[in-house]
Amino acid sequence: MLKTPLAWKNLMHDRRRLATAVAGIGFAVLLMFVQVGFQNALYDSQVRLVDALRGDLFITSRDRFAIAAETRFPIQRLYQAQSAPGVAGVYPLYTELTTSVFKNFGSHASSKGHQIRSMAIRLGDPVFHLPAVDESIPLLRGPLTAIVDRQSKPAKFALPIDDPDALSNANIEVSDRRLNLVGTFDLGADFVNEGNLIMGTATFGKLFPHRVPMGDPLSIVDLGVVELVDGANPEQARDTLAELLGEQVGVFTREGFRGKEMKFWRSTTPIGAVFSAGKVIGFVVGVVICYQVIFSGISDHMPEFATLKAMGYGRWYFISLIVVEAVWLAVFGFLPGAMVSTGLYQWLAAQTGLLMQMTPSTLGFVFAITVVMCVASGLLAVRKLLTADPASLF
């Protein structure tokens, strides 16, 4: 077989059937890429805010089961944390989604309200890693000003993101208050938040005074960002803060905070199971298509295979022949599927703002699954040949 590439010749002698097989396997590859892409986008997008934050530790309400949950804690816990040994700084982050309703009254936009995540920091606090936020601090000191996420879904917010003058003149409201957009930053949407705003606490307090009825809306905090002194051990500092702050809040390292968020979406919600089911469906579709292709190839060449059997070629020869043929089919089907998927990822990322990335690990994972899919189909199809009596095949 090594001297005569029989598997290659079996595939190439009927180009029309090969093209049909490649199209079918490529479709199965595309299905798996879409499911893997959306699943990765789900997890990566949900922790993108964590990745954009500075800080070594994070403080949240004990009842906050995910970042999207709007459960808060008194700012006094942050004042307590500031006094802990090894802590260099503690900074509050305020967020609002439920009552943060964005309306665009521009001539080319609908005035329909859409929820947008509003985030606020004390101007000058080192909360975000985002350079655009630091550069916008002087502008955010103006009354009722904010900067908007460039990756907010354009279908919902319809803002002239690439034109600073037009953006600053955009006629918009958030929570029925006129808001001036003075710049942009890049963060991205996720499965809960379709857009983002960042503003100073003065603006935030005016937009959302109802956070604390008859009280200071900034007296409750959504997230505390803790910066440690150089050389401090994050795990020891976490344990110290947890003991100091009591049961009302939870304290997490960066890795722990990311892991908690991803575990929630993977294990608690049905979304992770849905995408896993989608990958299984794509795999099964590919197995069926590949099985039909290889099985029909074996049936068409049964007399030739019978001759080889009569000449003394053993079962492992035929198994290796079909496995090599299956691997070739996997390569041929994977290449167009990957190319189409790359373009589809880019289009979906532009349309949804989700973090759809064709990474080497994604390519490697889907290619490995494709090879397994095709080889499994080949092993199923070759059983007919292995059990056949050569004398009955002529």
Tell me the longest C-alpha to C-alpha distance in the chain: 94
Q: Which two tokens stand for residue 13?
A: 């002698």
Quote the distance between the C-alpha of residue 220 and its chain's center: 30
* Contact between residue 75 and residue 220 where contact means Cβ atoms under 8 Å apart: yes
Dist. CA 196–CA 118, nearest whole Å? 6
Q: What is the pLDDT of residue 236?
A: 94
Q: State the CB neighbour count (10 A cutoff) for residue 42.
A: 21
pLDDT higher than threshold 70 for residue 372: yes
Residue 251's SS3 state is: strand
Per-residue pLDDT tens over the stretch 250-286:
999 999 999 999 888 888 777 777 777 888 888 888 8
- Cα 251 to chain center, whole Å? 25
Q: Which of 132, 128, 112 is nearest to 120 (CA)?
A: 128
- CA geometry: angle 78, 84, 85, nearest 5 deg: 150
| Structural domain spans, the chain | 6-46+270-387, 52-268
Asked whether the beta carbons of 57 and 89 are under 8 A apart, the reply is no
Query: Which run of H or E residues covers position 270?
Result: none
Residue 130's contacts (CB-CB under 8 Å, 6 or more residues apart) are 52, 185, 186, 187
Residue holding tokens 């050389």?
A: 231
The predicted structure's pLDDT at residue 355: 78
Identify the helix (H) or strand (E) that includes residue 21. helix 15-46
pLDDT tens digits, one per residue of 47-68: 889 999 999 999 999 988 888 8
User: Which tokens go with 334?
Assistant: 């994977």
294 contacts: CB under 8 Å, gap ≥ 6: 322, 325, 326, 329, 377, 378, 381, 382
Cα separation, 267 vs 325, in Å, equals: 39
CA angle 216, 218, 219 (to 5 degrees): 70
Measured N-to-C along each axis, helices 271-300 and 15-46 cross at an angle, to the nearest 10 degrees, of 170
All residues at 6 or more sequence positions from 24 whose CB lies less than 8 Å from its CB, including other chains: 286, 289, 290, 293, 333
Per the listing, tokens 């991205």 go with: 188
Q: Which residues pair with 185 in a beta bridge?
A: 149
Confidence check: pLDDT of 394 > 60? no
Measured distance CA(115)–CA(98) in Å, rounded: 7
Tens-place pLDDT, residues 208-233: 999 988 889 999 999 999 999 999 99
- Please say if the pLDDT value at position 1 is more than 60: no
